[in-house]
Structure 1
Amino acid sequence: MMTIERLREEINKIDEEILSLLNSRASCARQIGELKQKNSLVTYHPAREKEIYRQLLATNHGPLSYDTICAIYTEIISACRGIESPLKIAYLGPEATFTHMAARRKFGSSVEFVPVASIADVFAEVEKKRADYGVVPIENSTEGVITHTLDMFIESNLTICAEILLEISQCLLSNSSLEEIRLVYSHSHAFAQVRGWLKSNLPTTKCIEVSSTAEASRRAAMEQDSAAVGSELAAQVYHLNIMAKGIEDRVDNYTRFLIIGHSMVGRSENDKTSIMFSVKDRVGALHSMLSPFNKHNVNLTKIESRPSKDTIWEYIFFIDMNGHIEDDNVKEAIDELRESCLYLKVLGSYPVAG
């Protein structure tokens, strides 16, 4: 068996090789960035990144887990992308919200993150090109769809470029003891996710809703005898103790986020397409609108509706489906639907998260 000293010497040699390879990769990324700029191509290419992770999954034989490899490569890709062209990412803030966590998970740390106060502000930052991309929540497995995000797509011409699926683990954060806590701050969605735990463990505390879990953490850090329901990241940022982890009532608690930008992205091997459309108010209208998808063998994964802001009792429908807009069956189904509805917009085709 090799000695510790000898093994450390081996690690030093390996680190030198890794460093050399990382710089070689960065040099290639810089050249790609120059070619993209010359040909007016976008820097962020989610389908290409999905391909990288797929190759890593196929070739990794351990002992590092796939999740660990993905975390490492997220930062490698982020650093190389930053050399190509530094990105500015707007997200629903403040710092340490779950949207911030999702943005970091997708883009790594070698980007400029811009926290804004509302979902509408995220859209505005990207529309006015003060940010390259935006990250917004769209649905939670416990609380359902975020209607404000759907409403923004009615008004905006931005495109969905990618999606992020983030497992939400809520924590109780405080610098007081459990017995001293009198107030608990959090967002309404977070409270809904931990209602059972709070009832069992803090039945007499007063729950106060605020704009975000990060704002809740900020208040808990400033006030004695108070706590927040939020993330581990919020505990780090606001210097709070984690009193309890994983306090959500459902273990399969996920939030889906969308990355919004200006350009449609290319195909990967596993894509999703989102559209919105409106129909005339008549009996059987929606049923007839959905028939092209059955005809062309397109699988629908989600249907949501929102009231139109133009006409009373008129609704706009949002649909997610498997496949890319460039796939023949998807394109044919959408073209057929377009002929018989009042309005239709393709919101984007993008790689399925995971």
Structure 2
Amino acid sequence: MSGDLSEHRKEIDRIDDEILRLLNVRSKSVIEIGRLKKQQDADANLHTPAREAAIIERLVAQNTGPFPSEGIRPVYREIMSASLSLEGPQKVAYLGPRATFTHMACMQKFGSSAQYIPVHSIKEVFSEVERGRANFGVVPIENTTEGVVNHTLDMFIDSNLLIYGEVLQEVSHHLLSKSGVPEEIKKISSHPHAIAQCRNWLETHMPHVPVSEVASTARAAELCLEDASVAAIASQLAAELYGLKVIKSRIEDNLNNFTRFLVLSQKAPERTGKDKTSLMLSIKDKVGALYDLLRPFASHGLSMTKIESRPSRRKAWEYIFFVDIEGHIEEDRVKKAVEDITGRCLFMKVLGSYPAHS
């Protein structure tokens, strides 16, 4: 069979038929697991990141090739996304509209079979999850170029939602238009952050083309459909969803440009062994207060991956700190550190322990 192309294709067809048969066998087990979950806890989240991570890690570890290990994660993300849809609808609210980088982060986390609900503000994302109209919410928290998203931090002050997970999404900007012909472009539109992240490229390659700000990169893509002389700075997903052509790909000035997103839920995820804990706290106004706050983390051997401060809005010169540390709140060292810190704070709130992005 080594030299017969038709025989190789027949063999691939046979294997594909077997893969499909096994996917259906797998799906029957998934449906039964979903039934048992609902019997045990009717309100339980069907999505279990610990189990998903264990499946992928096991498959990657035993993979001998030639199928690339980096291809296993996206393939099984879609298999598990489709499987979850058999157990029940997975509704995910996100800061819309469609084809934004938040939408892309959602799909990276939950796959294409989830039911996505675009809303107009970060506050609405929190509200959809708090009211039970969505199982999860996805909001941006920080960007490597533009910094922290303060509105997201502020929402945690009064919300009882927990952080269920995080997603790191590469922000790669493309210049798109209806025709794909650069000579036809008379105007470029995009979100202010996208324009700022592509400023040097625009000044070098299209210095005489006016650039205008719009509400989102997706709205910029919509404008291309309305006017062939308009180009948009937007994502590859926007090109696919709106049927646009890429004039130039990856025009961002910083190629190491990522946005971190948080997944919100009313429930906490299971412990995975590779977790992160987020805390919100307010410290007493005294000399050395911040040093006293940080010392227990070091004394208990915890790595702090982020600290951000915001005005409390309740008292002048009083600040709230948002802290990320490695580890899970159920670990003794994390629990003891939090206990030590609590006595030194005006208030302390655990925002969640959740799987660190991998």
Q: What band does the TM-score fall into relative to the shorter chain?
A: over 0.9
1:46·1:161 contact (CA, 8 Å) conserved in 2?
no
| 1:82-119 Cα deviation digits (max 9, x unpaired) | 11222111111111111111101111111111011111
Per the alignment, residue 210 of structure 1 pairs with 214
- Please tell me the residue identity of whatever aligns with 1:169: S
4+ long deviations beyond 4 Å: none
SS in 2 for 1:342: strand
Per the alignment, residue 5 of structure 2 pairs with 4
State the distance in 1 between where 2:21 and 2:228 align. 51
Of the three residues 274, 278, 281, the one matched with 2:278 is 274
2:254 paired with 1:253: no
2:37 paired with 1:36: yes
- Identity percentage over the alignment? 50
2:350 paired with 1:349: no
Per the alignment, residue 163 of structure 2 pairs with 160
Of the three residues 36, 55, 60, the one matched with 2:58 is 55
More divergent stretch after superposition (329-338 vs 8-17) = 8-17
SS in 1 for 2:134: coil
- Aligned-residue CA RMSD in angstroms? 1.2
2:106 paired with 1:110: no
Per the alignment, residue 142 of structure 1 pairs with 145
1:188·1:209 contact (CA, 8 Å) conserved in 2?
yes
Per the alignment, residue 321 of structure 1 pairs with 325
| 1:141-178 Cα deviation digits (max 9, x unpaired) | 11111111111111211111011111111000112532
2:45·2:135 contact (CA, 8 Å) conserved in 1?
no
- Please tell me the residue identity of whatever aligns with 1:263: K
- Per the TM alignment, residue 198 of structure 1 is displaced from its structure 2 partner at its CA by 0.5
Structure 1 residue runs of 5 or longer lacking an equivalent are none
1:171·1:247 contact (CA, 8 Å) conserved in 2?
yes
TM-score, with normalisation over the residues of structure 2? 0.96
- Please tell me the residue identity of whatever aligns with 2:5: I
The within-5 A match list for 1:17-36 is: 17-36=18-37
| 1:227-247 Cα deviation digits (max 9, x unpaired) | 111001111222221100011
- Please tell me the residue identity of whatever aligns with 1:184: I
State the distance in 1 between where 2:216 and 2:165 align. 23
- Please tell me the residue identity of whatever aligns with 1:344: M
State the distance in 2 between where 1:250 and 1:207 align. 19
State the distance in 1 between where 2:228 and 2:170 align. 30
2:249 paired with 1:236: no
- Please tell me the residue identity of whatever aligns with 2:202: L
Count residues in correspondence: 354
1:78·1:108 contact (CA, 8 Å) conserved in 2?
yes
The within-5 A match list for 1:191-230 is: 191-230=195-234
Structure 2 residue runs of 5 or longer lacking an equivalent are none
State the distance in 2 between where 1:329 and 1:72 align. 36
